[in-house]
Amino acid sequence: MIDRPVFQPPPALVQIAERLESAGCQAWAVGGAIRDAILERPRADWDLATDARPEEVRELFRRTVPLGLDHGTVGVLGQDDSMYEVTTFRLDVETDGRHAVVEFATEIEDDLARRDFTINAIAWRPATQELRDPYEGIVDLEAGVLRAVGEPSGRFAEDYLRVLRAFRFAGVYDLEIEPETLEALRAAVVHLDRLSAERVREELMKVLSADVPSRSLLMYADFGALEGWYTEIAPVAEGHAWVEALGAIDALKPHRAFLRVVRLLLCAGGGPEESVDKAEGLLRRLKFSNAEIRRGTHLVAHYRPLVHPADGSASIREWLSTVGTEFSRDLFRLHFAAARGSGSADAERALIYTWARVHDEIVERSPVTVGQLAVDGTDLLALGLPAGPLVGLMLEELLAQVIDAPDRNERDVLLESARELIELGGLDSLEGGLQE
């Protein structure tokens, strides 16, 4: 049985609440912080709900940010320099499944009535230590149940993102979805295409930041929520390969949420070019940043082949040159996760041995890129090499020599090698490479 919860909000939040109360306004802590405090889980973000209007909040506090004035939200910078959201009590007066038109309310009960699930409809007033739980969210937490506030189908129709939030909460807190809520959720899944890409992506990243994301991802697959937004993954989200993928995703650390995205992308399969195309398509559909798209597609493209334990040092350096030193750790992390997810101790031991050798090459700064060569394009032009693509090809040729024998990475040695290639007709083979 859950005991009477003890709330320990940040002192800065208590000060904000006291300022509101001293001005004759109510100040209630609401949302995830209250839910997680009841469950004795750590929570970083604390928010306040108040009957004060946004303009009143901005008058009461010197340091504020207008985060969403139309919806009543003002960011207040506390004495700890953290941002705390202070939102006016609201009622939804009109919704279209994506956005809501709200009007401000005067009672905390009105605000709690518009929330999605009972476990999120609990409020605590720091000034009086009063707890409001009109929908028995604490009882549901104790029973391990996820239940919609009020009539479930109407609650989902107000905002179809609540379908995905249901999967997240059920997975993160290991909750069973209450039958009526479950029935309404099944009917609402078909409307997920009405959501914006940004909101779908944000919800996915929250799932992938959980300790055990597989529980939520299984619900995504079982309820058909992968259709539409995740068309590359939906057809393969079943069977042994899917189970292995989920195991690998769980094995990755929560703070590596984007690597978990990459592991999802790898589920799509296909040949090298096809897999990259699928990865890029999904990342663009969800409006990931260009940098994330480049990183994700690169990791998918180079996931295989990995360095083999029996490979020599030259092969390791060649692999590093191909995949990029900066991506090598992530590629090994993905393979470590696959080994741990499948429970293969032998595979994990081989990876530990192989990574140690790769790491040694990185630490020793064995040259694996053109930029690490002891010569550059200016040096080659001084030898009489014509400006243009041949300069790059010559540098690549010199890099290949250095990868094979790192001790050749000396300016005089490389210049002599380049001079010989120029004088002995080696340019012909380089020019041939341009025409291939």
Q: What is the pLDDT of residue 276?
A: 95
CATH code for position 102: 3.30.460.10
More confident residue, 108 or 385: 108
pLDDT one-digit tens code per residue, 295-305: 999 999 999 99
Task: Give 93's pLDDT tier (boundaries 50, 70, 90).
Answer: low
| Distance, CA of 116 to chain centre | 23
Structural domain includes residue 341: no
Q: What is the pLDDT of residue 139?
A: 96
Type of residue numbered 202? E
Query: Which of 132-136, 175-179, 210-214, 402-406 bottoms out in mean pLDDT, i.e. has the lowest?
Result: 402-406
Type of residue numbered 273? E
pLDDT at 433 over 60: no
Structural domain includes residue 50: yes
DSSP for 342-397, written as a single string: HT-HHHHHHHHHHHHHHHHHHHTT---SGGGSS--HHHHHHTTPPSSHHHHHHHHH
Structural domain includes residue 223: no
More confident residue, 319 or 366: 319
More confident residue, 422 or 295: 295
Query: What mean pLDDT is predicted for residues 229-253?
Result: 93
Structural domain includes residue 37: yes
**Final residue of a domain: which of 116, 135, 154?**
135
List, in order, residues 6 or more apart from 343 with CB less than 8 Å away.
247
pLDDT at 331 over 60: yes
Structural domain includes residue 67: yes
Task: Give 436's pLDDT tier (boundaries 50, 70, 90).
Answer: very low
Q: What is the pLDDT of residue 241?
A: 87
Query: What mean pLDDT is predicted for residues 271-281?
Result: 92
**Final residue of a domain: which of 135, 169, 203?**
135
Q: What is the pLDDT of residue 98?
A: 60
More confident residue, 344 or 23: 23
Structural domain includes residue 165: no
Q: What is the pLDDT of residue 67?
A: 87
List, in order, residues 6 or more apart from 93 with CB less than 8 Å away.
101, 102, 103
Question: 146 in helix, strand or coil?
Answer: strand
Query: What mean pLDDT is predicted for residues 395-407?
Result: 88
The whole-angstrom separation of Cα 173 and Cα 370 is 50
Q: What is the mean pLDDT of the chain?
A: 91
pLDDT at 266 over 80: yes
Own/partner contacts of 208-213, CB < 8 Å, gap of 24 or more, are 208/249, 208/254, 208/257, 208/258, 208/260, 208/261, 209/254, 209/255, 209/257, 210/168, 210/171, 210/172, 210/254, 211/172, 211/254, 212/171, 212/172, 212/250, 213/171, 213/249, 213/250, 213/260
pLDDT at 95 over 90: no
| Distance, CA of 378 to chain centre | 42
Query: Which of 27-41, 88-102, 140-154, 165-179 bottoms out in mean pLDDT, i.e. has the lowest?
Result: 88-102
Query: Which of 12-21, 252-261, 394-403 bottoms out in mean pLDDT, i.e. has the lowest?
Result: 394-403
Query: What mean pLDDT is predicted for residues 297-322?
Result: 93
**Final residue of a domain: which of 78, 100, 135?**
135
Helix, strand, coil distribution of the chain in percent, nearest 5: 60, 10, 30
Task: Give 94's pLDDT tier (boundaries 50, 70, 90).
Answer: low
The whole-angstrom separation of Cα 159 and Cα 175 is 21
Structural domain includes residue 70: yes
Query: What mean pLDDT is predicted for residues 182-187?
Result: 96
Sign (positive/negative) of CA torsion 42, 45, 46, 49? negative
Domain that holds residue 420: 373-435
Phi/psi of residue 277, each to 5°?
-60, -40
The whole-angstrom separation of Cα 283 and Cα 278 is 9
Q: What is the pLDDT of residue 45?
A: 86
pLDDT at 404 over 70: yes
pTM beyond 0.95, yes or no: no
Structural domain includes residue 221: no
Phi/psi of residue 85, each to 5°?
-80, 130
Q: What percentage of the chain exceeds 90 in pLDDT?
A: 73
Q: What percentage of the chain exceeds 70 in pLDDT?
A: 94
- In terms of phi and psi (left: phi > 0; alpha: psi -120 to 50; beta: otherwise), the region of 337 is alpha
Q: What is the pLDDT of residue 425?
A: 61
Contact 55, 47 (CB under 8 A): no
The number of distinct structural domains making up the chain is 2
pLDDT one-digit tens code per residue, 3-32: 677 889 999 999 999 999 999 999 999 989
Type of residue numbered 250? D
Q: What is the pLDDT of residue 435?
A: 47
Q: What is the pLDDT of residue 99?
A: 61
Sign (positive/negative) of CA torsion 410, 412, 418, 424? negative
The whole-angstrom separation of Cα 66 and Cα 77 is 11
pLDDT one-digit tens code per residue, 226-235: 998 999 999 9
Contact 97, 90 (CB under 8 A): no
Query: What mean pLDDT is predicted for residues 408-419?
Result: 90
Beta strands in 193-253 (DSSP E): none
pLDDT at 428 over 80: no
Q: What is the pLDDT of residue 42?
A: 80
